[in-house]
A and B are shown apart, each in its own frame.
Chain A
Amino acid sequence: GQNIDQPTEMTATEGAIVQINCTYQTSGFNGLFWYQQHAGEAPTFLSYNVLDGLEEKGRFSSFLSRSKGYSYLLLKELQMKDSASYLCAVRDSNYQLIWGAGTKLIIKP
């Protein structure tokens, strides 16, 4: 079966750096997405990786290793507004998105 694994919850301190990991086993691979979802709101697109390596976008970076079935989202200079759930999703060989359950990130002052 297809599976996406992420930690359920993480806690970090304002101003620090946090890395949220995602491992996947899917039938084929056509890209990996990270979304941010604040409580009670819709998911919003953060990043897309299809080739191995690091994609940097401001305070957020996303890394992909296809051979290891592994990605991480790196958040720098954490702010209180970064408290949210972070969803990892993989597009499989049929271009269907397989979603992880999300990682709830709690930022403490």
Chain B
Amino acid sequence: TAGITQAPTSQILAAGRSMTLRCTQDMRHNAMYWYRQDLGLGLRLIHYSNTAGTTGKGEVPDGYSVSRANTDDFPLTLASAVPSQTSVYFCASSDSMGSGNSPLHFGNGTRLTVT
């Protein structure tokens, strides 16, 4: 079972360039999330989607955009990358956002370096 697939695994990006991080899940989960993980900090939510066709802003949304055209895909776009966006990005999904016991399942992450 694939679960959640993220691509690319890693990327070096010049500042000012745009990039889309891809995320696909095959578990038919309703909710999907994008997090960034930086050393010494907890996972920080960038954007989320409760269900296909809806998206919402998380804790650190600036500089990022998302779309949720269907249940399976949840791409994250950086319109004009800056060095502070250097991070490890995790896509995650859960059966529901509004249910307490609905653990997140994570992809393997994308390590992004903005130079």
Residues of A within 8 A of B (CB): 4, 30-31, 33, 41-45, 48, 50, 87, 89, 91, 95-102
Given contacts A30-B100, A42-B109, A99-B44, 19 further A-B contacts (CB under 8 A): A31-B101, A33-B103, A41-B109, A43-B90, A43-B104, A43-B106, A45-B103, A48-B100, A48-B103, A50-B101, A87-B42, A89-B43, A91-B100, A95-B98, A95-B100, A96-B58, A100-B42, A101-B40, A101-B41
Chain B contacts of A4 at CB under 8 A?
A: 42
Establish whether residues A96 and B45, one from each chain, have CB atoms under 8 Å apart when the complex forms. Answer: yes
Chain B contacts of A98 at CB under 8 A?
A: 42
Q: How many chain B residues touch A (Cβ–Cβ < 8 Å)?
A: 20
Establish whether residues B106 and A42, one from each chain, have CB atoms under 8 Å apart when the complex forms. Answer: yes
Shortest CB–CB separation between residue B30 and chain A, in angstroms? Answer: 13
Chain A contacts of B58 at CB under 8 A?
A: 96
Q: Mark B11-44, 1 if CB is under 8 A from A, else 0.
A: 0000000000000000000000000000011111
Tell me, in angstroms, the Cα distance from A52 to B54 when the chains sit together.
35
Give the 3 A-B residue pairs with the shortest CB-CB distance, closest first. Answer: A99-B42, A42-B106, A45-B103
Establish whether residues A102 and B107, one from each chain, have CB atoms under 8 Å apart when the complex forms. Answer: no
Tell me, in angstroms, the Cα distance from A33 to B101 when the chains sit together.
9
Chain A contacts of B43 at CB under 8 A?
A: 43, 87, 89, 97, 99
Establish whether residues A44 and B106, one from each chain, have CB atoms under 8 Å apart when the complex forms. Answer: yes
Establish whether residues B97 and A95, one from each chain, have CB atoms under 8 Å apart when the complex forms. Answer: yes
Shortest CB–CB separation between residue A50 and chain B, in angstroms? Answer: 6
In the complex, which of the residues B44, B98, B107 contacts A42, with contact meaning CB atoms closer than 8 Å? B107
